[in-house]
Chain A
Amino acid sequence: EVQLVQSGAEVKKPGESLKISCKGSGYSFTSYWIGWVRQMPGKGLEWMGIIYPGDSDTRYSPSFQGQVTISADKSISTAYLQWSSLKASDTAMYYCARLLDVDTAIVDYWGQGTLVTVSS
C-alpha cells in the first residue's frame, strides 16, 4: 500500500528555521516525483515545488523560489520542505503529494498534511 506519512504539527516563532518531512512507503521512492502544496487558513491549494528523489532534480513555482528549500534523502525514502527564517505568513497546512507524471502534475497519493503555525 502506497503511503506518504508527514511529520507532526509545528509551532514556531518568526525568524526560526524549520524542516518538515514526508516519508514514502509501499513503492519505489526514487521513481516518482514528490510535490509540496501549501494551503493557508481558509484558502485554496498552491503548488510550491517538486523533487525527483532519484536524482534530486528540483523545480520551484515562481512564488516560492528562494523562500523555501525542497530536498530528499532517498536512503530513507523521505522528502523535506524547509525554511531558514519563518514568517507569520508561512502559517499554513503543507501537504506532500506523489505525482504520476511531472509534466501533468497529476497527483495519485497525498500525505496527511503538516500544520505549521508561526506566531510570536
Chain B
Amino acid sequence: NFMLTQPHSVSESPGKTVTISCTRSSGSIASNYVQWYQQRPGSAPTTVIYEDNQRPSGVPDRFSGSIDSSSNSASLTISGLKTEDEADYYCQSYDSSSNWVFGGGTKLTVL
C-alpha cells in the first residue's frame, strides 16, 4: 500500500495564499485522482476538490487543486484566505487494487 504525506500544520494571514502539499509514497500521483476534504472544527468533512482539480458546486474558486509529477505530489491552494478557511484538510487517493488512502491531514491556521 502507498501513503499520502501532508505537513502537520500551516499558517498564513487573511488575504494571503497558502498551499498544502500531499506527497505519494509509491506509485504515480498522476495515475489516480486526488481529492481534498475540508473539516472545520466540530463538523463533518466536506469535499472541496475532486479529480485533482475539480470544484464541487458551491466551493469558491479561491480553492484550486493541482498535481506535480516531478515531486509525485498534489497540492491544494487557497487564495484570498478568510478566517472561515481555518480547518483541517485531508487529501485522498487510491490505487489499482482499490486501496483507498487518506493523508494524515493538515491543520490550517489563519491568523
Given A45-B37, A110-B44, also A104-B32 (CB < 8 A): yes
User: Distance (Å) between the CB of A100 and the closest chain B CB?
Assistant: 7
Cα distance A112–B103 in the bound complex, in angstroms? 21
Question: Interface digits, A53-78 against B, CB 8 Å rule (1 contact, 0 not)?
Answer: 00000010100000000000000000
Residues of chain B from 88 to 111 with CB closer than 8 A to chain A in the complex: 90, 92, 94, 98, 100-105
Residue on A nearest B6 in the bound complex, by CB: A44
Chain B residues positioned under 8 Å from A103 (CB to CB): 94, 98
Instruction: Tell me the count of chain A residues lying within 8 A, CB to CB, of chain B.
Output: 20
Does residue A24 face the partner (Cβ distance < 8 Å to B)? no
> Do A105 and B44 touch (CB < 8 A)?
no
**Size bracket, chain B contacts:** 20 to 34
Within 8 A of A (CB), among B36-56: 37, 44-47, 50-51, 56
Question: Is A90's CB within 8 Å of the partner chain B?
Answer: no
Partner of B94, one of A37, A104, A111, A112: A104
* A59 contacts B98, C-beta separation under 8 Å: yes
The complex places the Cα of A44 from the Cα of B106 at a distance, in Å, of 9
| A interface with B by C-beta (< 8 Å) | 37, 44-47, 59, 61, 95, 100, 102-108, 110-113
Contacts A44-B104, A47-B101 aside, 8 further interface pairs with beta carbons under 8 A come to A44-B102, A95-B44, A100-B50, A105-B92, A106-B33, A107-B35, A108-B50, A110-B45
Selected A-B contacts with CB under 8 Å, 18 pairs: A37-B45, A44-B103, A45-B45, A45-B90, A47-B100, A59-B98, A61-B100, A100-B50, A102-B98, A103-B94, A104-B32, A104-B33, A106-B33, A106-B35, A106-B47, A107-B35, A107-B37, A108-B47
